């Protein structure tokens, strides 16, 4: 598994500046991009692989998505550096490179994720497996 950027839209983050917050980010409450991360996972090939995915989806705050034919595990958890009262990053000057590369111009604020598939529950993945003939 390798860490993945939040979509392929990150280029630079002007979003969570403590003193000159971008107006778009000021409207983005709660800050969507600071509330999850995702990891690329192996594409499931056999029934046992799908069973493992169903097990992951049985946990709260976890979803699975496909983007550009690659599979990802998405963990919905808030960054510990997000100040939920101000909606600002409390470590802006030392924020990770991942955050620096994120652009408010093309970010989660602009609409739903453009994933090919997004499974938020075991039931959703099970339905998809049936449709695809996975036994």
Site of interaction with ligand SF4 (CB under 6 A): 15-16, 24-25, 28, 31-34, 79, 81-82, 89, 91, 95-96, 99, 102, 104, 107-109
Contact 50, 10 (CB under 8 A): no
Cβ closest to ligand SF4, residue 57 vs residue 82: 82
Contact 125, 50 (CB under 8 A): yes
Closest CA to 25 of 98, 105, 94, 91: 105
Shortest CB 118 distance to ligand SF4, Å = 17
Closest CA to 83 of 24, 38, 13, 25: 25
Cβ closest to ligand SF4, residue 33 vs residue 62: 33
Cβ closest to ligand SF4, residue 32 vs residue 120: 32
């Amino acid at each position: 598994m390798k860490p993945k950027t939040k979509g392929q839209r990150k280029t630079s983050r002007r979003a969570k500046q403590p003193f000159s917050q971008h107006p778009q980010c000021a409207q983005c409450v709660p800050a969507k991009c600071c509330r999850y991360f995702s990891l690329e996972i192996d594409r499931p090939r056999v029934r046992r692989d799908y069973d493992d995915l169903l097990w992951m989806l049985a946990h709260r705050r976890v979803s699975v998505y496909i983007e550009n034919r690659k599979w990802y595990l998405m963990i919905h958890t808030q960054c510990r550096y997000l100040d939920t009262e101000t909606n600002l990053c409390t470590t802006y000057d030392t924020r990770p490179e991942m955050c620096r590369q994120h652009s408010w111009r093309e970010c989660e604020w602009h609409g739903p994720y453009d994933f090919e598939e997004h499974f938020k529950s075991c039931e959703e993945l099970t339905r998809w497996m049936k449709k695809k003939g996975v036994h």
